[in-house]
Amino acid sequence: MQNMNPGKIGFFPALIFSSRWLQLPLYLGLIVAQCAYVFLFMNELYHLVVGAVTMSEQMIMLTVLGLIDVVMISNLLVMVIVGGYETFVSRLRLDGHPDQPEWLSHVNATVLKVKLAMAIIGISSIHLLKTFIEAGNLGAPDSKFTEAGIMWQTIIHMAFILSALGIAYTDILMQRAAKSIKGEH
């Protein structure tokens, strides 16, 4: 017979619940990955500042877009690290902290998915913009892009947008269903 005392839980439920801490090394690894992105950003920024005098406007624009891309990926990492840890591992207990992100107070798996989808769309948009800027060299011997490559990159970007819309729509349906169950209108 199972112990009915809510203060005590059995060995296996405690083990299963404690297994969430196995994710901690994953989040620590993402922090290391973010350090790599900081290094990449500083390296690219250095090359931009040093080479700005000799770079074409297009090259400066592509380098700046690369910097924005690194920042957006870093923001994505922060969302995954902070939101994922808060949602799946343990509370951060940041209530009242002046730097607590606004979204963290109502984060759950669905909110995190929508935010991640939007960040991925932003990153994809930067990559697509870089491709379109460089597409002027399409057909040149040193061009990195083909028409088919640009087409597939655009199709993949549209798939990201449709996926995000699907996630957001599913969230709306789930909220409506929850309100319906509670008897709200």
Tell me which amino acid residue 163 is.
S
CA dist 173 and 185 (Å) reads 14
Nearest to 125 by CA among 168, 149, 158, 163: 158
Residue ranges covered by each domain of the chain: 11-88, 108-185
Can you tell me which residue has the tokens 């998915």? 113
**Would you state the pLDDT for residue 144?**
79
Residue 37 near residue 74, CB atoms below 8 Å: yes
CA dist 166 and 159 (Å) reads 10
DSSP string, 44-80: HHHHHHHHTTTS-HHHHHHHHHHHHHHHHHHHHHHII
CA dist 63 and 70 (Å) reads 11
> How many other CB atoms sit within 10 Å of the CB of residue 176?
11
- The one-digit pLDDT tens for each residue of the chain (185 residues) are 444 455 688 899 999 999 999 999 999 999 999 999 999 999 999 999 999 999 998 899 989 999 999 999 998 899 889 988 988 898 888 888 888 777 777 777 777 788 888 889 999 999 898 888 888 777 777 777 788 888 999 999 999 999 999 988 888 888 888 888 877 65
**Would you state the pLDDT for residue 112?**
79
**Would you state the pLDDT for residue 5?**
52
**Would you state the pLDDT for residue 7?**
63
Nearest to 145 by CA among 137, 124, 102: 137
CA dist 81 and 79 (Å) reads 6
